[in-house]
Structure 1
């Protein structure tokens, strides 16, 4: 499966309904294009679902389902996939820090598979030969021609073959695509813990969609809290049960010494530096392994609705 081609199909379908989806396509000087999904336009919930599908190389179903947080109505973002490793780690994971001149954004999507350059791709079997690349940027600024050129060079293609979709964290579309990372965070944590990713067959995840924050810094807090304190993930796996019982307690966010207060407070304590936060924190609140070979079910972690209520409604 060519991940970039799959995502490009989603982009073209989105652009065919651009007015309805509240997005605008912009050509970039010297080649390439970007789709504004929330900078100067409103975007929306449906656009957020499309952004998440692009990030996941259209290898997952993404939907918004009913839910609640601390007794208050709060929609949840649901992700279902039978290709969790390819969708989440080869594509969705925000593993590319896009830095060019004064421009900075975290890059997601299948363009990462064309670039390679991350240790995870040694496990995933190399990089993708792509004629075009698609990426999603979490940013409030429009990408520059220099950004497009840098991405094109890293992916060994012409700038004209680069498509970027951009939405800030504090936007409807941006919030949806970030909260759609419940499964991805669990798989990344398992990879860091040395779990055999080939054992993971399918996955289901949900996480509450927070109210859009007044600014991007506050939105970073709320969207992280949605995962850390409200995400529930079910993984369908093979193999022995003993190894699941060994690794399981280390997976959920409860395994971190930073767990227990809204992420905005944690972030401020570390002077807003992600790299100083305990990396064990970045995982779902609850994870369940269903062993399809033995029939055993293993559950770890728990939700923290009180922390979510302080973050979302306080």
Structure 2
């Protein structure tokens, strides 16, 4: 993908009314809304405010740049875990990689007072300098932006000023949505990335993104935990052990078959234990974990021209039970 076609949608314009609706219904959704000293609007979805499942569902759709739909559904796939999140996007590559992917590393300060978080959502397409946007041939612009951060504390105002500056907007035109991993909203918005993990791995495998026509995903809703490591493990394991994705591609059968075989999490050398145990074993150094691990458990790749479908991976209920408790 190279130049941005004129008809590509603006993810920030699409999400602006969704963010405003979140604020309008903040009391019903158990959200906290405040304004920082610089004018930036902050939506608390689980730090001081309680948040909840519906808040997480709406935030997941905002994360996808207004180009995705996320729904909660009863499922009989597992004995103990009855609820699934279903994800679909009208433009999956842009929604998942151009908006939802948590690829913007944001930090401020040093030592014990240092702040670090990963930014996701439509604001990335305006402010992040990731090389990925060159490959997507996409950049967004506008008068306002929204960024979602999976953190349990308010970012320092100096960092927020920098985010606004990089987005090319005034600080009072920026909205931050904060979703701690341990919150219900945090659980939903992370598990809602099941399709994104497949697309990100396809990109890492150097499968041409322009050949991905459509896609959908599903994964079980994980129980929350007040312990950060447990909460992080469960949100990841919902996808690694029980996530399901189907991609529709405009590619040759051999390429589609190879993609299907390489996509599942079980293709990784680190597969076989809950994420929290893997993370602990590498002394909490995220970069020591095989990046190929982060993908759905079971995939189907369907070829548009031939009509053939290729399947790989499987759901791992024992490991899911071990992770969820």
Q: TM-score range by the shorter chain?
A: over 0.9
- Which residue number corresponds to residue 52 of structure 1? 60
Paired residue secondary structure (1:206): strand
1:276 counterpart residue number: 288
Match of 1:240 in 2: 252
Work out the CA distance in 2 between the residues paired with 1:27 and 1:144: 13
Counterparts of 1:37-76 in structure 2, within 5 Å, are 37-68=45-76, 70-76=78-84
- TM-score normalized by the length of structure 1: 0.97
Q: Equivalent of 1:194, from 206, 214, 217?
A: 206
Determine helix, strand or coil for the equivalent of 1:19.
Answer: coil
| Residue of structure 1 in register with 2:273 after alignment | 261
Matched, 1:213 2:221: no
2:177 alignment counterpart: 165
The more displaced of 236-245 and 18-27 is 236-245
Shift of residue 70, structure 1, vs aligned partner: 4.2
Counterpart of 2:87 in 1: which secondary structure? Answer: strand
**Cα separation, 1, equivalents of 2:21 and 2:309:** 39
Following TM superposition, by how much is the alpha carbon of 1:258 offset from its aligned partner in structure 2, in angstroms? 0.5
Residues of 2 paired with 1:20 and 1:174: CA distance?
Answer: 17
Aligned counterpart, 2:191: 179
- Name the counterpart of 1:310: 322
1:109 corresponds to: 121
The runs of 4+ residues in structure 1 deviating greater than 6 Å are none
Whole-Å Cα distance in 2 between the matches of residues 69 and 251 of structure 1?
A: 21
Residue segments in structure 2 that go unaligned for 5+ positions in a row:
1-8
Give the aligned partner of residue 97 of structure 1: 105
After TM superposition, the score normalised by the length of structure 2 is: 0.94
Q: Which of 23, 30, 33 does residue 15 from structure 1 map onto?
A: 23
Say how many residue pairs are matched: 313
* Separation in 1, partners of 2:136, 2:259: 21
Displacement of 1:15 in angstroms is: 1.1
RMSD of aligned C-alpha atoms? 1.2
> Could you tell me how far apart the structure 2 residues matched to 1:116 and 1:43 are?
27
Q: What is the deviation of 1:130? A: 2.4
CA contact (8 A) 1:258 1:266 kept: yes
SS at match of 1:18: coil
